[in-house]
Amino acid sequence: MTITKEEKQSLIDLANEARRRAYVPYSNYPVGAALQTKTGRIFTGVNIENAAYPQTMCAERIAIFKAVSEGEKEFEAIAVVTNNGGSPCGGCRQVMAEFGLDTIVLFGNGEGKLTFETTVNNLLPEAFIPEHLAVDNEG
């Protein structure tokens, strides 16, 4: 499956819309994500902060966890929208890598414009992936 220009913009728009629901009383940095699975389903997420800062959860991970909880584990693309087109954190990159290095990652800004496009593999080169845990029964 190839993602079209229109689908990319739709994901940016959905992530930007989701961003309005972010709970960010501490950073005031709302993030929205929209994830399209290989089956065409779309899941959104927002960052949710917590007074105990380490318990904060990122928008990207929420979208991915929602998809996985609904039985989806193969992803086509994820759009991440911030005011300034910010990039996913390292933790989100690792979670994305768990489900496919070829997933397209779209960065968007608060104006709803695509600012950068890449893949998970480019965001996290030499990623630690499930295959690294394979047991070698020969040795």
Beta-sheet pairing, 75-81 with 104-108 = parallel
> For the packed helices 5-19 and 59-69, what is the interaxial angle rounded to 10 degrees?
110
**DSSP 8-class letter at 23:** B
Closest Cα partner for 15 from 100, 97, 77?
A: 77
The question of whether 60 is a catalytic residue gets the answer: yes
Annotated active-site residue in 7, 17, 49, 60: 60
Residue 117: beta bridge partners?
106
Tell me the residue type at 103.
T
Structure tokens of 101?
């290095």
CA pseudo-torsion sign 77, 83, 85, 87: negative
Q: Which of the residues are catalytic? A: 60
